[in-house]
Structure 1
């Protein structure tokens, strides 16, 4: 089993930003980007950016963050529908994972998690959650959702933001060892470094299995 280094950013990927990462950190094998513009938070991914990344040999890791809380089954389904809409708009192919960005300050309940998983079940995409498994309510809500429906742990991929080791160059990335919820889960992503000084990015290591679900 291999592990792959890459980055994510709230900012649009321009040639300047890509070159900044190449020069300071190394070649990103994938780049996490937000599917929509959320004022003061993220710039939405564009087709032009996707072309720039693909032409550079870098895959796209899609993140959906246009929601303010993570409670209620119906809201979970709506979040999944919205993420799907934007992935289709940008022509993401089948079988790719769509990460819901769950802030540690959010209220989260197990029914929202089940709603997101169920909302994506009959689409062409797979459910993913970008989460802090240590701080905030996600881990306990996730484990409750798993105990109610095994589809949650079977279908979804988790991208952990803990522990934070600090940003590094690709060749100095830490050994893959993310924090996880205390129940069955596919924690295949780890954002180990945040807010690099040289370029506005975070650094990540992911499992091959997740890499294969990116575009």
Structure 2
């Protein structure tokens, strides 16, 4: 009798221990790693991290890990903002991971604003909340009327900075500018520099027919030169030129009927004829606001290095599609002008 009792007690104790171990293992398997969030079922997740740092040196590491299982509808919104004013050295690392088993939508945003007044950030989105492309807010670049060779490229890099965009003219214009060559294209693109294509083969941009004819000539030469479809061709309107709304309408209409995109360069100050003509044209054809890229030369802040470039502050008509800002003209060291180019124009450069 005692033997049977002892055996039963032993079995009960063993089963109790096994039960406790099983519960413990299950609990551990469902415990998320530090810094992670795990959801079973539908989930709406909003993570916001903001770091405000003002010091000589800084190392910032932000990590977000979202794991969503079994939900039919999941929404994930991750935002990381680092406001950093550091005079010596800064290291920023943002790690965002979304693991979603079912249908989900989400966005990851991360930005870093520096103490020089500019803001460099990116926001990427796809169907599962993981971004796979990055478009910078602005990039620094130059334009030049001179032929671009190794010497000029080295001059710019040694004295000003590393341009990501280089504006060049399509076709020669006597006494004004040399036209882009195939050798330049190879040199610039092999150095990961995109080309902004400029058309300046006119002096009197007045009238609808003139706008059409100049656009047609630019399109023909672009095709002959091998410029791919989707690239924007910028009409170069100098401040000494007369300009009217009809020229802009003719240029834009003809350009948008082709395989190329429409662009225009000039001083877009409210006191300039170009500004008035653009607004008048856009009032007649609202697609100009949405489709014509503006490369403005206003305000003129003067030539600088990339490191000392002014905060991005282009002047252009409200509602217009800004493509870039030529903030400084006629450098003495190299024959260039200095620019900030908007991230939205990068898709229509060569």
Question: For this structure pair, what is the TM-score category when the shorter chain's length is used for normalisation?
Answer: over 0.9
SS at structure 1 position matched to 2:348: coil
CA distance in 1, matches of 2:343, 2:263: 15
TM superposition shift of 1:57: 1.1
Say which of 157, 160, 164 aligns to 2:296: 160
* Structure (1/2) with the larger strand percentage: 2
TM-score (normalizing by structure 2): 0.60
Q: Does 1:180 align with 2:316?
A: yes
Q: Does 1:136 align with 2:272?
A: yes
Q: Does 1:52 align with 2:173?
A: no
CA distance in 2, matches of 1:207, 1:59: 13
TM-score (normalizing by structure 1): 0.96
Flag structure 1 segments of 5+ consecutive residues without an equivalent: none
TM superposition shift of 1:26: 1.3
TM superposition shift of 1:197: 1.1
Q: Does 1:125 align with 2:260?
A: yes
The one of the two structures with greater contact order (alpha-carbon pairs below 8 A, sep at least 6) is 1
SS at structure 2 position matched to 1:143: helix
CA distance in 2, matches of 1:136, 1:83: 25
Flag structure 2 segments of 5+ consecutive residues without an equivalent: 1-121, 123-136
Greater than 3 Å deviation, 4+ residue runs:
none
TM superposition shift of 1:143: 0.6
SS at structure 2 position matched to 1:89: helix
Say which of 285, 305, 311 aligns to 1:169: 305
* Structure (1/2) with the larger helix percentage: 1
CA distance in 2, matches of 1:140, 1:201: 28
CA distance in 1, matches of 2:321, 2:308: 24
Which range is displaced more, 107-116 or 126-135?
A: 126-135
Q: Does 1:214 align with 2:214?
A: no
CA distance in 1, matches of 2:344, 2:272: 27
TM superposition shift of 1:184: 2.4
Number of equivalences: 214
Equivalences for residues 8-19 of structure 1 within 5 A:
8-19=143-154
Contact persistence 1:105–1:136 (CA under 8 A): no
SS at structure 2 position matched to 1:171: coil
CA distance in 2, matches of 1:209, 1:97: 12
CA distance in 1, matches of 2:139, 2:310: 11
Supply the RMSD in Å over aligned alpha carbons: 1.1
Q: Does 1:40 align with 2:175?
A: yes
Q: Corresponding residue for 2:340? A: 205
Q: Does 1:149 align with 2:309?
A: no
CA distance in 1, matches of 2:166, 2:323: 15
